[in-house]
Structure 1
């Protein structure tokens, strides 16, 4: 079985310049996900899709392949995961006649993921031959139902109208046990390549979950996230 780990790492981050190669725990952010993928017992190829030769050089230094540079038109703020994943899978098929049985899409911004997360996503998919994909996810630390909803007041301000859950604005927040379980994606998706053309999607319709602890879903998006992640690495001895 051929399993491709495809890691998306575009340049041009506005919140944190060169975020994907900024050092975290003494390594470029991109290195953490590459190392996790390479340690997976199912993954047998790791490819990084990037629009930056600088990023590509870093990826190769940490053991990934960069057989192409992502086109600029697939690297903007409005480009979707599907856009660059579809490009990568098609490029490998057309230029190398390489067609993996499964693809695991990873992201550099989730540095605490482990090889077992890649394996769990693959196995969740293999255990259900009818599944299109599996998504790695973690329990929500704050339930979305506890978020307050605002509406315009007609005078340039806003008013609180209640909770996203539908509870009235004067209701005390319900206990966590009162809500259905909620999870957030940990930015790791395993899928069968044929769904790209069938659904124009990397998840399709029948999706299996693979649940991981919250710390494995920490997502780096801002300068403060790097500070928090450094502290967490110290605590976890990661």
Structure 2
């Protein structure tokens, strides 16, 4: 069989206003755009992945995650009101003129809908391949609100006018939802389009087929609130999604032990040194309160630190957490600590922020990194918290564990 040439194009301009720099902002541990790149690269049917952007930083990040950026989009095609159509026409024209490249199908993957089922891209492509009469396939979900119960208001007399009529049903707006025609809402997860349709001036054509998306995956990130809700879905909903890194592990149902790194987790990683060499660090009182709550609930906690410093011992003594200091080989020491606390590895959580914590991640049931952790730690972690080390990251995790205990 000759493999079909299926091109995925991910549009990502640099001038986002609602969430500045959103395409390269970290979303659940990876740049937002990385999720759409991963959806294309993990597809069995997509043969090429291109990011169309006007922004050098976005292009660099895209290449880091395996996409091509053969051109930078002209500035006039990266404005607030720029439509998808001229962006895709430009990409197809550039590829044909510069490379002689002509795909059979084009897949659009919008970065603002990062939460996708693993098989969605291939399912949509297969639908269009199986229906030569169709011009495109579009992702849809059942609509949350039925437009047959929606109204317009006459600007002249202020009276309400039904938005839609239903043949044979005199007052659809008074009818039970079950008897109304089903309606669907288009999502930003995926579109698959024949290139000739785009060249002729449309992003969909006239014959459009649906690919059904589970409403649980409905995400469209336009505001900071959308961002927070969507990250929660990635970390805690246990949905099966396309993820740019390794396969994420959820928090254990039962937790025997939480192991904390000290510097950069319980502190903000800064140190103050006086003229006599005495050190001070900055910590967060809310972390201490969270530790106290969980300790009273019976949760075991321990600090594992590379540093041998009185300030580490003093802070842990204040928080009443056991501490193991001066350990360069944390991964070598961690199994002994879990055995000492009678903690099963699969029910142990490790919280770190730096490259020397990464070898510990694979030894426990769930690895957690603070928001400002080193990139290697963020990529290797199962969960990346929204708060920085020393600024409530520990409390954020402990609040989640307390809620689960309830």
Once residues 217 and 77 of structure 2 are traced to their aligned partners in structure 1, the CA distance between those partners, rounded to angstroms, is 28
TM-score, normalization by structure 1: 0.89
Shift of 1:101: 1.0
Q: Does the 8 Å CA contact 2:54/2:72 hold for their aligned counterparts? A: yes
Q: Does the 8 Å CA contact 2:172/2:180 hold for their aligned counterparts? A: no
Spell out the pairing of 1:43-122 with structure 2 (5 A cutoff). Answer: 43-122=46-125
TM-score, normalization by structure 2: 0.53
Equivalent position SS for 1:59: helix
Q: Does the 8 Å CA contact 1:112/1:215 hold for their aligned counterparts? A: no
1:197 corresponds in structure 2 to 199
Shift of 1:129: 1.0
Once residues 204 and 172 of structure 2 are traced to their aligned partners in structure 1, the CA distance between those partners, rounded to angstroms, is 37
Spell out the pairing of 1:85-164 with structure 2 (5 A cutoff). Answer: 85-152=88-155, 159=158, 161-164=160-163
Task: Confirm or deny that 1:36 pairs with 2:35.
Answer: no
1:23 corresponds in structure 2 to 26
Q: Does the 8 Å CA contact 2:37/2:49 hold for their aligned counterparts? A: yes
Once residues 229 and 150 of structure 2 are traced to their aligned partners in structure 1, the CA distance between those partners, rounded to angstroms, is 23
Task: Confirm or deny that 1:9 pairs with 2:5.
Answer: no
Q: Does the 8 Å CA contact 2:10/2:52 hold for their aligned counterparts? A: yes
Q: Structure 1: give runs of 5+ residues left out of the alignment.
A: none
Q: Structure 2: give runs of 5+ residues left out of the alignment.
A: 240-406
Q: Deviations over 1:158-215 (max 9, x none)?
A: x561553469xx99754321321111112211111111233x0121111111111112
Q: Deviations over 1:127-165 (max 9, x none)?
A: 1111111111111122233334344478xxxx5615534
Relative to structure 1, is the Cα distance of residues 162 and 23 closer, same or farther in structure 2, using a 3 angstrom cutoff? Answer: farther
Once residues 71 and 194 of structure 2 are traced to their aligned partners in structure 1, the CA distance between those partners, rounded to angstroms, is 22
Relative to structure 1, is the Cα distance of residues 218 and 160 closer, same or farther in structure 2, using a 3 angstrom cutoff? Answer: farther
Q: CA RMSD in A?
A: 2.1
Aligned length: 231
2:176 corresponds in structure 1 to 175
Instruction: Give the structure with higher Rg (CA).
Output: 2
Equivalent position SS for 1:202: coil
Once residues 136 and 97 of structure 2 are traced to their aligned partners in structure 1, the CA distance between those partners, rounded to angstroms, is 23
- The higher relative CO (CA closer than 8 Å, separation ≥ 6) is in 1
Shift of 1:221: 0.8
Equivalent position SS for 2:7: strand
1:235 corresponds in structure 2 to 236
Once residues 137 and 25 of structure 1 are traced to their aligned partners in structure 2, the CA distance between those partners, rounded to angstroms, is 24
